[in-house]
Amino acid sequence: MDIQTLTFIIVGLTFALYIGIAIWARAGSTRDFYVASGGVNPLANGMATAADWMSAASFISMAGLISFMGYDGAVYLMGWTGGYVLLALCLAPYLRKFGKFTVPAFIGDRYYSNTARTVAVICAVFVCFTYVAGQMRGVGVVFSRFLEVDITAGVIIGMGIVFFYAVLGGMKGITYTQVAQYCVLICAYLVPAIFISIMMTGHVIPQIGFGAELNDGSGTYLLDKLDGLSTELGFAEYTSGTKSTIDVFFITAALMVGTAGLPHVIVRFFTVPKVRDARKSAGWALLFIALLYTTAPAIATFARVNMIDTINGPDAQGTAYEEAPGWISNWENTGLISWEDKNGDGKMFYSGDERNEMDIDRDIMVLANPEIADLPAWVIALVAAGGVAAALSTSAGLLLVISTSISHDLLKRNLMPHISDKQELRYARIASAVAIGIAGYLGINPPGFVAQVVAFAFGLAASSFFPAIILGIFSKRMNKEGAIAGMVSGITFTAAYIIYFKFVNPAANTPENWWFGISPEGIGTLGMLLNFAVAVAVARFTSEAPRDVQAMVADIRFPKGAGEASAH
């Protein structure tokens, strides 16, 4: 059976599973729609959180970044892993005790201001749409290759599936769908990694194979071989970094603190019955996340070595285009690989200097990895299903946050306080449908490759939400004027910096032109510092928060005990 047929079967079966779960877990109330009635088992919630967290950026793009960037790509690995730990251990218990399941609800009540709530809604929608653009792009990349449709058609198919189970099931349907999606994506990630690790190093565990000797009898370590290939071909040494220390620090910090401001992850801590269960689910999620994140560097290295060997041939002089392995022509059809015969010898050659004749999109590395290694067709189809699962799981969580922010925080709490539960649920579903349409457009016209787009979203979250949440928990003095001024200044500065270097004047996007040597991917950290500075300064020259708010802040610093999620 060929790859395309197997892909149709495996992806089709997973879609049927997701839709079946959505029908079974259909939301009947706003509490079902927003927080699954707070009745999810911690183990299941840990899987759902991991699926929500590990987006297309984690599954598809992170290993591709590491594969192309080498040591420099580790900033994404460190930032996203450390960010989840920061959120789970330092913020989630306090937010759970507060009892508001959305970031705008926390900010609106903590800062006793509908204006603050509205600003938070705008920030949440902006961040989530930026994030979901990367997910929809990931769906398009998967479908364009394995279902042999163009990226636009692939995004539309993904939109239809997400629309069905997000709009119908809400958080209840999404939670149990994400449990299934986690099982699919982690199997799809680990199975080819194990196969390739055995083939290249003889080790079953990829994390061990990553640092082991090749089993070709040469006695050469895998990373040593890749370092040698990289320097011979004009690339930077794979295990050494080229980014400046300040940029590495700022990108890592932006990804970490941006995590703490991501609304679609925070809400997961309200889907379990008790605070203790929230802590348990956080621990389970960290374990499930670690399975993928510790495997990513191994997959990146395996893919890089195999890709260079198959393109440049055993003699490293290039491979005749007519004799190119099938994976190259397969991905050429998607437009994500192209070849230009610069010297007219009819051979493909891949390098990091003027000899290079190959243009390879880094987002294909994980998806193409099984093909490059010539693994069985069912493994290739499984990876396609995993990539779709990763993108759809996070897309659903983000779209639910958008609909909740609009229906609950903007309409119910601000503009239309007297609507019934049934009307609020209807508005939430309408908002989800509109959000899916906008997300699909952004997926078809993305502002960058998957992990880069997601990094921008984290920077925007870091510069807008993180200071407001931290100061809201740990500073009784912080008032509404400070929080609003901080959020507006932080996200405005960060968005302007990103837009200028990525869209207005991309030719200037070089280290020489960056402020303090900080790239657009890391500018969220500077935006966060600006947010803190503005918020503290404004709060100092305006009136203190009311006494009842200060008492509430003192109370939520002690997360021990119950804190039932509230829809009010």
Report for 70-79, 500-509, 531-540: range of highest mean pLDDT: 531-540
**Among the ranges given (20-34, 136-150, 400-414, 449-463), the one the predictor scored with the smallest mean pLDDT:** 20-34
Q: How far is CA 230 from CA 60, 162, 296, in A?
A: 23, 41, 19
| pLDDT band with cut points at 50, 70 and 90 for residue 564 | very low
> How, if at all, do strands 358-360 and 337-339 pair?
antiparallel
**Do 547 and 483 lie in a common domain?**
yes
**Do 264 and 335 lie in a common domain?**
no
Q: How far does the chain reach from its first CA to its final CA, in angstroms?
A: 54
How confident is the model at residue 128, as a pLDDT? Answer: 77
| pLDDT band with cut points at 50, 70 and 90 for residue 101 | low
Report for 218-227, 259-268, 444-453: range of highest mean pLDDT: 218-227
Phi/psi for 33 (5° steps) reads: -70, -40
The answer to whether residue 116 sits within a structural domain is yes
| pLDDT band with cut points at 50, 70 and 90 for residue 397 | confident
Q: Which of 532, 552, 425 is nearest to 109 (CA)?
A: 552
**Do 241 and 387 lie in a common domain?**
yes
Residues in the chain: 568
The residue that leads in pLDDT, 207 or 450, is 207
Q: Which residues of 184-210 are buried (b: 16+ CB within 10 A; e: fewer)?
A: bbbebbbbbbbbbbeebbebebbeebb
Strand partners, 320: 347
The answer to whether residue 564 sits within a structural domain is no
**Do 315 and 418 lie in a common domain?**
no
What is the H or E stretch that residue 319 is in? Answer: strand 319-320
**Do 215 and 105 lie in a common domain?**
yes
How confident is the model at residue 565, as a pLDDT? Answer: 44
Residue 507, pLDDT > 90, answer: no
**Do 322 and 452 lie in a common domain?**
no
> Which residues neighbour 367 within 8 Å (Cβ) at sequence distance 6 or greater?
60, 141, 142, 145, 146, 383, 384, 387
**Do 13 and 108 lie in a common domain?**
yes
The answer to whether residue 565 sits within a structural domain is no
The answer to whether residue 563 sits within a structural domain is no
Residue 204, pLDDT > 90, answer: yes
How confident is the model at residue 197, as a pLDDT? Answer: 95
| pLDDT band with cut points at 50, 70 and 90 for residue 567 | very low
Based on the number of CB atoms within 10 Å of its own CB, is 268 exposed (0-12), middle (13-18) or buried (19 or more)?
buried
Domain coverage including residue 315: 306-370
**Token pair for 7:** 């892909």
Residue 293, pLDDT > 60, answer: yes
> Which residues neighbour 144 within 8 Å (Cβ) at sequence distance 6 or greater?
150, 151, 154, 334, 335, 336
**Do 327 and 425 lie in a common domain?**
no
Q: Are 57 and 130 in contact (CB under 8 A)?
A: no
Neighbours of 556 (CB within 10 A): 20
Q: Which amino acid is at 369?
A: N
| pLDDT band with cut points at 50, 70 and 90 for residue 367 | confident
**Among the ranges given (39-48, 369-378, 426-435, 532-541), the one the predictor scored with the smallest mean pLDDT:** 426-435
Rounded to an integer, the average pLDDT of 370-376 is 89
Measured between alpha carbons, how far is 146 from 343 in angstroms, rounded to an integer? Answer: 32
CA 531 from chain centre, in angstroms, equals: 23
Domain count of the fold of the chain: 2
Residue 44, pLDDT > 70, answer: yes
Measured between alpha carbons, how far is 450 from 458 in angstroms, rounded to an integer? Answer: 13
Q: Are 566 and 100 in contact (CB under 8 A)?
A: yes
Can you tell me which residue has the tokens 């709009």? Answer: 167
Computed over every residue of the chain, the mean pLDDT equals: 82
The residue that leads in pLDDT, 564 or 333, is 333
Rounded to an integer, the average pLDDT of 101-128 is 83
How confident is the model at residue 356, as a pLDDT? Answer: 92
**Do 316 and 403 lie in a common domain?**
no
Report for 89-93, 105-109, 445-449, 521-525: range of highest mean pLDDT: 521-525
The residue that leads in pLDDT, 2 or 484, is 484
The answer to whether residue 117 sits within a structural domain is yes
**Do 27 and 153 lie in a common domain?**
yes
Which pLDDT tens digit goes with each residue over 302-345? 999 999 999 998 888 889 988 888 888 888 877 788 999 988 88
The residue that leads in pLDDT, 266 or 62, is 62
Neighbours of 78 (CB within 10 A): 16
**Do 293 and 313 lie in a common domain?**
no
Task: Report the sign of the C-alpha dihedral through residues 113, 111, 271, 461, in that order.
Answer: positive
Could you say which of 320, 346, 370 is where a domain stops? Answer: 370
Q: How far is CA 341 from CA 309, 338, 405, in A?
A: 18, 10, 52
The answer to whether residue 566 sits within a structural domain is no
**Do 318 and 427 lie in a common domain?**
no
Report for 203-217, 322-336, 453-467: range of highest mean pLDDT: 203-217
Measured between alpha carbons, how far is 80 from 61 in angstroms, rounded to an integer? Answer: 13
Could you say which of 328, 350, 370 is where a domain stops? Answer: 370
How confident is the model at residue 490, as a pLDDT? Answer: 93
The residue that leads in pLDDT, 302 or 163, is 302
Rounded to an integer, the average pLDDT of 2-26 is 78
Helical spans, DSSP H, in 445-510: 450-474, 480-499
The answer to whether residue 258 sits within a structural domain is yes
**Token pair for 202:** 């003889």
| pLDDT band with cut points at 50, 70 and 90 for residue 532 | very high
Measured between alpha carbons, how far is 389 from 183 in angstroms, rounded to an integer? Answer: 9
Residue 96, pLDDT > 70, answer: yes
CATH code, domain carrying 226: 1.20.1730.10
**Among the ranges given (332-341, 408-417, 450-459, 532-541), the one the predictor scored with the smallest mean pLDDT:** 450-459
Which pLDDT tens digit goes with each residue over 189-198? 999 999 999 9
Measured between alpha carbons, how far is 91 from 465 in angstroms, rounded to an integer? Answer: 12
How confident is the model at residue 38, as a pLDDT? Answer: 62
The answer to whether residue 443 sits within a structural domain is yes
Which pLDDT tens digit goes with each residue over 470-505? 898 888 889 999 999 999 999 999 989 988 887 788
